[in-house]
Chain A
């Protein structure tokens, strides 16, 4: 009996992850509210300096997205027990398909996260309006897929390690730096009406690089985690 294709396997994993999230409601009920609280507290800490609040708003949004977005992707390592992982292996699952499925589910959840927090940032920080908002939508997409890739990759690398809860965030910090730089520089370039090509290319290159590394190392990481 042959199983589903690579994409079929990835689809099943993504679907299962979304269903698990739908039942546990971790992103909707816990991560998004905490992210919103973080965005709310920062202007309160800064005070009533409206120009300052407006200028730090976009940066704060990216930082909150990055930090809380990681929690969204790390939830996989919490839901996948050793028994579950071993069952997947014995079902003949392609580890690369598992990687793609998990990244897809995290990507969708991160889009929801960004979709709620981006309007909230506009309301709370009232950042300077920029022309070319469709570009910002592309940046939101690239940031979501980039964070999903980094979080899934970091979970894969630290899976099976006792110190994974400490190691995973330490791994994420340097990997996500180019994403943070790319996203914030795109906004800056838009507000100054200069070229956005370099930061967008940086984001695209990081996403493509992470996707290739993730798919190519999936089997090795899966074997190493056992």
Chain B
């Protein structure tokens, strides 16, 4: 039996000025599943992810997240349940990896004591006092995964999640997604490469000409 959609997009269009990016997008993200969206560079994948994250209001159409139709006020109240891992790590370069995570834990109301546990979990126990600006891209990504495990989002959005990661860190992505799914949440991957995310997703879509075309359920 198909699960109820956690996110639903109906006839969504996004234009930047006169430039259309997304057209008539229809998309359902079921609870407990991972969805993969593939498309070439510049096809609007990141824009779609920002709409799903409620960070970008579409020019047209309706967006429903966790059963609530998005408006300015409603978006504000549900955003804590969403996590986005984008191209650029959301870290402060001058702070250490640990300090970055402590900052997030305090703002999200989680215990600071769990921070060390999370850093240990993502394999950064030995590098936690290193500044973000002195850490590799892969290490910065690991901190982002630690943030996701710490904040326990119900909707996880990943933009090119496996880009620049070694095998071990790649397995971390898999574990994080599995963790979200097992709690009844959902994950959405966008990537220009289908191969790496294919083993993780239950349904795939393709972004063509700004529209989302179902690629079938697995």
- Which chain A residues have a beta carbon within 8 Å of chain B's beta carbons? 1-4, 8-9, 12, 16, 19-20, 23-24, 79, 81-84, 86-93, 219, 223, 226
Contact = CB atoms under 8 A, between A and B. Distances in A.
Interface string B91-134: 11011000100011011111000000000000000000001000
A4 B109 contact: yes
A32 B207 CA distance: 52
Contacts of B99: 19
B90 A81 contact: yes
A87 B90 contact: yes
Nearest to B99: A19
B94 A86 contact: no
**Shortest 6 CB-CB contacts between residues of A and residues of B:** A87-B90, A23-B94, A92-B80, A83-B90, A3-B109, A83-B88
Interface residues of B, number: 31
B91 to A, nearest CB: 8
B94 A19 contact: yes
A86 B53 contact: yes
A83 B79 contact: no
Contacts of B89: 83
Contacts of B131: 23
Interface of B: 50, 53, 55-56, 72, 76, 79-80, 82-84, 86-92, 94-95, 99, 103-104, 106-110, 131, 151-152
B110 A16 contact: no
A86 B151 CA distance: 15
Contact of A16 (B79, B95, B109): B95
B49 to A, nearest CB: 11
B82 A93 contact: no
B62 to A, nearest CB: 18
Contacts of A3: 80, 107-109
A86 B55 contact: yes
Interface of A is mostly: helix
11 contacts: A1-B80, A3-B108, A4-B109, A16-B103, A19-B94, A23-B94, A83-B89, A90-B55, A90-B80, A92-B76, A226-B55
B38 to A, nearest CB: 23
A90 B55 CA distance: 8
Contacts of A86: 50, 53, 55, 84, 86, 90
Contacts of A219: 76
Nearest to B82: A90
Most chain A CB inside 10 Å of its own CB: which residue of B72, B87, B103: B103
A83 B55 contact: no
Given A19-B99, A86-B53, 7 more contacts: A16-B103, A20-B94, A23-B94, A86-B55, A87-B90, A89-B79, A91-B80
Nearest to A20: B94
Nearest to A87: B90
A2 B107 CA distance: 9
Contacts of B90: 81, 83-84, 86-87
A140 B72 CA distance: 39
Contacts of B80: 1, 3, 90-92
Contacts of A88: 107
Contacts of B87: 83
A23 B152 CA distance: 30
